[in-house]
Structure 1
Amino acid sequence: MEQVVEKERKKSILQEITSKTDQIDQKVKYRIFLSVFFFLSGFNFASWASRIPTIKAALNLNEAELGSVLLTMPISSMIGLPISGWLVSRFDTRIPLTLAFFLNALSLSLIGLAQSTLSLVIALFLFSLSTRIFNISMNTQAITLQKQFDRKINGSFHGLWSTGGIVGVAVTTLIISQGISIVPHLVTVSVVTIVITLLSYQQLLRNDRSTGKDKKSMAKPDAYILYLGLLVFFAAICEGGMFDWSGIYFQKVVKEEVFTIGYLIFMTFMAFSRFVSDRIIDKIGMAPTYIMSAMCIFTGINLAIFFPTFWPALIGFSFVGFGTAAVIPMTYTLAGGSEKYSAGVAISLVASFGIVGMLLGPPLIGYLAHAFNLKMSFITFAFSGLMLIPISRLFFRLTKQN
């Protein structure tokens, strides 16, 4: 009798171990395939952005006309706010994610094929709208999946987005050096996007739609969302401004011939920071990480402003990339804990503040540079970095987290 009991006990333990192993394998699989989409998102964005000079020349646009065309993207993204929020609360997020990646692939080809300003505006509208939808879907998947792990993993997803961006710039640079035109370039990226989406979407997380948290009004976000939105707003001013002006700073202020190194070093350290930020947060907590991020941005910008030579500016931009990187993924993680909204809708609301920051940052630097000079205009980034400290303190005081 005792032998039978012991045999059953061992069988039960074996079944439990097998079940846990299957669960671990499943969540790792979800993480791998979601990572593919984050990387592809960064790659696609960089593929388009690095072709802007080509498009400008092909359509004979001046700076003002190009600026007006590019304004299509934040407008489209804001229109996509209620659409993306509704989709992630209505369906499993893998559905809008998949459809948005198909639309993104189509719009990339349309950008390459655009023969007029109107056709380019339409293509960019679709590109930005689809980007908005799959960004919210991916981040909702990431926040939901993170709950199955014993540690933070959201930062690594955003690190893969940055890595995809770096690879996209590198591939585009190689393609341009070989004299390949924009049409075969972007059409090829579109085809690759469709193939990867078809092969990968079934391996994404399922059954993650809203359970009814979003019945309260979205017209007036509560203090929880407001503070998180402001954190993303100031981080986005830094990110958007550095994306557009870091290369010009190295060209005009540092007087460096290979001016793209400013953008490259910022992106590289941003990617590196996002891969290690999860471990940093696990060790010191979110509240100290916001303060550390703020001080990195402030220190790095001041180093580049007061010592505008190659190495100090390079080190300074490294600090800025490292400091800026953790803020948005960390804030999205906190948004997923909202008691008023589901994770998808909360992230969509917080992301709208980021869109405004991305919209205001680059032109604000341009206006200040025109009124004063480019070096002094970068003080905007130092101020935005410092603002992370009081806002994060207000947030954690509200929620009594650390």
Structure 2
Amino acid sequence: MHSITTNRLSLSLFFLLSGFNFASWASRIPTIVSKLQLNEAELGSILLTMPVSSLIGLPLSSWLVTRFDSRYPLIVAMVLNAASLSLIGIAATPFALVVALFLFSLSMRVFNIAINTQAITLQKLYDRKINGAFHGLWSTGGIVGVGVTTLLVSLGISIVPHLVAVSIITTLLVLGAFPYLLRNDRSTTGNKLTFGKPDPYILYLGLLVFFAAVCEGGMFDWSGIYFQQVVGEEVFTAGYLIFMSFMALSRFVSDRVIEQIGMEKTYVLSASLIFSGIALAILFPSFWPAMVGFSLVGFGTASVIPMTYTLAGASKKYSPGIAISMIVTFGIVGMLMGPPLIGYLAHAFNLKFAFVTFALAGAMLIPISRKFFRLER
């Protein structure tokens, strides 16, 4: 039996690598667009593969977290995620890219539930909140991923060796860390997933994650394009990098912020930062205003998802695995439906107009969080 510190370190590596992998794909989207000669609508259609794959994976991921300890689906999904990253890199046609993204999204669906089930279970063994720090490591992995991509782009390194190398390194590291993950975390109660009238507790939390994920997913996939096409920056990863950096910084302090002002006020603060940051980037689409705006959006989105996952783990009706599975469904759909929507709006109007979607999504956190906490009183 390993100590909880060893369990935490091992799980931290999985969070770090999952963020690194996602950023490696997302920050290469402009490269893929150029390679396959895609317009905004075509890119939006291809990105639509990901939420479809995620929804298909709902029954599979729910079954896995109730049938096995979460570490088993976590390791299998992470290895598959790494392999599909290589497939994204070598995809030479839109169809090949669709297949690769389908597998990439399906594996994300499974490991997101497994990794957050591990995190919620491990947090219960501590006398303080640690979930925000885990998600901070995911963002840190994203920063490193964007930084590596920026370096490789500046050196003229193509996408294929880049993503294949990431796949190999990820696979070796997760296989080494696997034996030290938390064991015996499968819940024996609350594992029945019922369909019908939605549980208000889960519904409101799911909507909070959905709108936060629309902002996150859209910023992941379109911040580089925004800086390239609207701001006019040659180093297009600058916007993505500042967004991820401030998201990571905020997540490492979010647990303390929540303890100081409470969850209800934190949702309002997050919404305000997202709205004002997007407004700044749209109204003043030059380098420094856009950088400040993207940093505010990073601060605003950071707390919402880990905070909401923590609340989901306290559900009285469902086990942590099932509750998180349902919440993650909202999150992944939001994260992966946001980018196609932005693509269609950008093609029909322009990219600045499309970014208004993020401001509206951020603003929705206020009325929904108020309804949730009113329900809990």
Structure 2 length-normalised TM: 0.91
Q: Corresponding residue for 2:83? A: 106
Aligned residues: 377
Identity %: 72
1:215 is paired with a residue of what secondary structure?
coil
The aligned residue for residue 50 of structure 2 is 73
- CA 1:125 to 1:192, structure 2 compared with 1: closer, same or farther past 3 Å? same
8 Å Cα contact 1:232/1:328 also seen in 2: yes
- Aligned partners of 1:74 and 1:355 also within 8 Å: yes
Q: Note the aligned Cα RMSD (angstroms).
A: 2.4
Paired AA for residue 311 in structure 1: W
Does 1:375 pair with 2:352? yes
The equivalences for 1:341-360 within 5 A come to 341-360=318-337
Q: Please give the secondary structure, in 1, of the residue aligned with 2:129.
A: coil
Shift in alpha-carbon separation, 1:116–1:382, aligned structure 2, 3 A: closer
> Taking structure 1 as reference, are residues 86 and 173 closer, same or farther at Cα in structure 2, changes over 3 Å only?
same
SS, match of residue 57 in structure 2:
helix
1:329 is aligned to 2:309: no
1:20 aligns with: none
Q: Secondary structure at the match of 2:272?
A: helix
Q: Distance in 1 between matches of 2:232 and 2:91?
A: 35
Show the counterpart of 2:373: 396
Change (3 A) 1:242 1:184: closer
1:270 is aligned to 2:247: yes
Check conservation: 1:214, 1:340, Cα contact below 8 A.
no
Distance in 2, Cα, partners of 1:44 & 1:178:
20
1:2-401 equivalences in 2 (<5 Å): 26-59=3-36, 61-215=38-192, 217-369=194-346, 373-400=350-377
Report the CA distance shift for 1:146/1:119 in structure 2 as closer, same or farther (over 3 A). same
How far does the alpha carbon of each residue in 1:55-74 deviate from its partner, in whole angstroms, 9 at most, with x for none?
44545555544433332222
Of structures 1 and 2, the one scoring higher in RCO (CA 8 A, sep 6+) is: 2
Q: CA deviation at 1:126?
A: 1.6
CA 1:91/1:223 → structure 2, altered by over 3 Å: closer, same or farther?
same
State how far apart, in whole Å, the 1-side matches of 2:240 and 2:157 are: 23
Gap change, CA 1:111 and 1:319, over 3 Å in 2: closer
Q: Is the 8 A contact 2:270 2:299 kept in 1?
A: yes
Alignment-derived partner of residue 13 in structure 1: none
**2:40, 2:343 → 1: CA distance?**
12
Change (3 A) 1:281 1:181: same
Matched residue type, 1:191: I
Structure 1 pair 185–116 and aligned structure 2 pair: CA distance change class (3 A): same
CA distance in 1, matches of 2:92, 2:144: 27
Range that drifts further, 123-132 or 322-331: 123-132
> How much does 1:392 deviate?
0.7
Q: Secondary structure at the match of 2:191?
A: helix
Contact 2:117–2:320, Cα closer than 8 Å, also in 1 = yes
- Once the 2 structures are TM-superposed, how far is the Cα of residue 249 of structure 1 from its aligned partner? 3.6
Amino acid paired to 2:321: G
Distance 1:282 1:104, change over 3 A: same
C-alpha distance in structure 2 between counterparts of 1:363 and 1:36, whole Å? 30
Specify whether residues 368 and 124 from structure 1 end up closer, same or farther in structure 2 by C-alpha distance, changes over 3 A only.
Answer: closer
SS of the residue 2:79 aligns to? helix
**Using a 3 Å threshold, how does the CA distance of structure 1 residues 302 and 176 change in structure 2: closer, same or farther?**
closer
Write the letter of the residue equivalent to 1:330: M
Return closer, same or farther for 1:381/1:150 CA change in 2, 3 Å cut-off.
Answer: same
- The alpha-carbon distance between structure 1 residues 356 and 109, as it changes in their structure 2 partners (threshold 3 A), is closer
Residue 200 of structure 1 deviates from its aligned partner by: 0.6
Asked whether the 8 Å contact 2:27–2:237 carries over to 1, the reply is no
Q: How far off its partner does 1:270 sit?
A: 0.8
Specify every segment of 5 or more residues in structure 2 that has no aligned partner in the other structure, as ranges: none
Query: Contact between 2:27 and 2:240, CA under 8 Å: does it hold in 1?
Result: no
1:370 Cα deviation from its structure 2 partner:
5.1
Q: In the alignment, is the contact (CA less than 8 A) between 1:90 and 1:210 conserved in 2?
A: no
For residue 118 of structure 1, report the CA deviation from its aligned partner.
3.6
Corresponding residue SS for 1:163: helix
In 2, distance between residues paired with 1:49 and 1:309?
A: 22
CA distance in 2, matches of 1:94, 1:363: 32
> How far apart, in 2, do the equivalents of 1:66 and 1:316 lie?
25
CA distance in 1, matches of 2:278, 2:195: 37
Cα offsets for 1:268-327 (capped at 9, x unmatched): 111111111011112221111111111111222233334444433322221111011110
Structure 2 distance, partners of 1:250, 1:113, is: 25
What 5-or-longer segments of structure 1 have no aligned partner? Answer: 1-22
How far apart are the structure 2 equivalents of 1:176 and 1:325? 27
